[in-house]
A and B are shown apart, each in its own frame.
Chain A
Amino acid sequence: MEKRDKNISAMSTPAIGEAGKTGDWRDMKPVIDHSKCIPSVKKRAACYLCWLYCPEGVIKTGIPVEIDMDYCKGCGVCAEECPAKAITMINEGDDNG
């Protein structure tokens, strides 16, 4: 238990998923085509514009790039901004898109 200042009566503690699993909000989901994605093709850290522009911060910069689907709200900014057009938005539940 974190030490608390006795003068503070109401203090919130930080936690991931404050609004629950916000992945539930999605109607479209992003799917990465790794044969086009620049870090996967070049096999080194590069581009990462999806990470840069993700309003949620749910994209992980690695090789390959990964999206945390538990919290991705499905806004589609990554698909719009991807310079290689490697990300497409498909309907939720449509898995072989």
Chain B
Amino acid sequence: MPENIFKVNEEEYMLPGNRACQGCGLSLAYRYALKALREDTILTIPASCLTVLHGLYPTTSVTIPCLNCTFASTAASAAGLVAGLTATGKTNTTVVAFAGDGGTYDIGIQALSGAAERGTDFIFVCYDNEGYMNTGTQRSSATPMGALTTTTPILTKEQNKKDMLKIMEAHDIAYIATTSPAYPLDLYDKFVKAKRIRGTRYMQIHVPCPPGWGYPPRDTVKIARLAIETGVFVLFEVENGKFRFTGRSKSLAEKGNRLPLINYIERQDRFKKMSVEQLSRFQKFIDNKWHEYIKKAEA
């Protein structure tokens, strides 16, 4: 049992009785992200599952101030908040933009790239549930190959997932980290660390989605953990250009004992039409990615 559990902030900023689905991976990750960010934070969120979690006017289920912005302008609104806070001398307040994968990979990428290029002092968090889950599971550029969505209903998605982390790395920003709700303490620590760093910070959380991915809600943590064990999602940090593996991915990289991809695929209905050929292409895609990461870690 991890002893650090007693060091976690006990205050709950995400109140119970919200609109998140049963067993929502986002709601678990969000709980710990907010615990780590604490007071003195302003959130800005575009249209996403998170808006649903935040609730309908005039009540909200989150006790931290939040601005609801339009889909494409997440990072732009964060840049505006930072400018406003600087002008009024409130430099201790952290601005956090929290967008889904649609709001990061597809629609929000222009504003995010602009803000990262200007070096805006904020945290951009992408919670990656691999599709437009809020509007009913449409394909996004974060959807992995072989997945069924309502916009790829027959042939499954044919393209590989876009490497957003590499795009953010190319912006040469202060801090990049990936986390997963299967390891809440790792997620907590990374957010605490991100809050202390100045400059543009990009975090990515891999959040399983029971209705969108097609698995029973009780398996949320198990699926998130399998994504790490099979190497579909990798836990790492890039601090000032220095890459390093963290947590479970570190020991996987050292021992090279990743589980075969099928362990992760077989538990989800969205992959039920995946062909054997696609499966081996997906496995190769992951192997290549790991090869790249290991090289980067050694450099």
Q: Which residues of A contact B (CB under 8 A)?
A: 10-22, 25, 45-49, 52-58, 68, 70-71, 73-77, 79-81, 83, 89
Grouping DSSP codes into helix (H, G, I), strand (E, B) and loop, the A interface class, with mixed when no group exceeds half, is loop
9 pairs from A and B in contact (CB 8 Å cutoff): A12-B58, A15-B61, A17-B15, A18-B61, A19-B19, A19-B55, A52-B5, A76-B216, A76-B217
Known: A76-B217, A77-B221, A81-B221. A25 touches B59 (CB 8 A): no
- Given the interface contacts A14-B15, A45-B6, does A57 sit within 8 Å of B217 by beta carbon? no
For chain B residues 11-67, which have a beta carbon within 8 Å of chain A?
12, 14-20, 22-25, 27-28, 31, 54-63
User: Which residues on B sit within 8 Å (CB–CB) of A68?
Assistant: 16
What chain A residues lie within 8 Å of B210 (beta carbons)?
A: 75
A55 with B57: CB separation less than 8 A: no
Contacts of B62 in A (CB 8 A): 14
The residue in chain B whose Cβ has the minimal distance to the Cβ of A23 is: B17
User: Which are the 6 A-B pairs with shortest beta-carbon distances?
Assistant: A76-B218, A75-B23, A17-B17, A71-B16, A12-B60, A18-B55
Cα of A57 to Cα of B61 in the assembled complex, Å: 12
In the bound complex, what is the Cα–Cα distance between A79 and B168 (angstroms)? 38
In the complex, whether B287 has a CB less than 8 A from a CB of chain A is no
Give Cα distance in the complex from A14 to B59, angstroms. Answer: 6
Distance between Cα atoms of A68 and B17 in the complex (Å)? 10
- Residues on B facing A (Cβ under 8 Å): 1, 5-6, 12, 14-20, 22-25, 27-28, 31, 54-63, 184-185, 210, 216-222
Q: Is the CB of B1 within 8 A of A22?
A: no
- Given A55-B24, A55-B28, A89-B218, does the pair A13, B55 have CB atoms closer than 8 Å? no
Q: How far is the CA of A80 from the CA of B215 in the complex (A)?
A: 14
Give complex CA distance A80, B218 in Å.
Answer: 7
Shortest distance from the beta carbon of A66 to any chain B beta carbon, whole Å: 13
Instruction: Quote the shortest CB–CB distance from B260 to chain A (angstroms).
Output: 22
* Set A22, A48, A75, A80: member contacting B17, Cβ < 8 A: A22
- B-side contacts of A16, CB under 8 Å: 15-17, 61
Residues of A within 8 A of B25 (CB): 55
Q: How far is the CA of A19 from the CA of B51 in the complex (A)?
A: 13
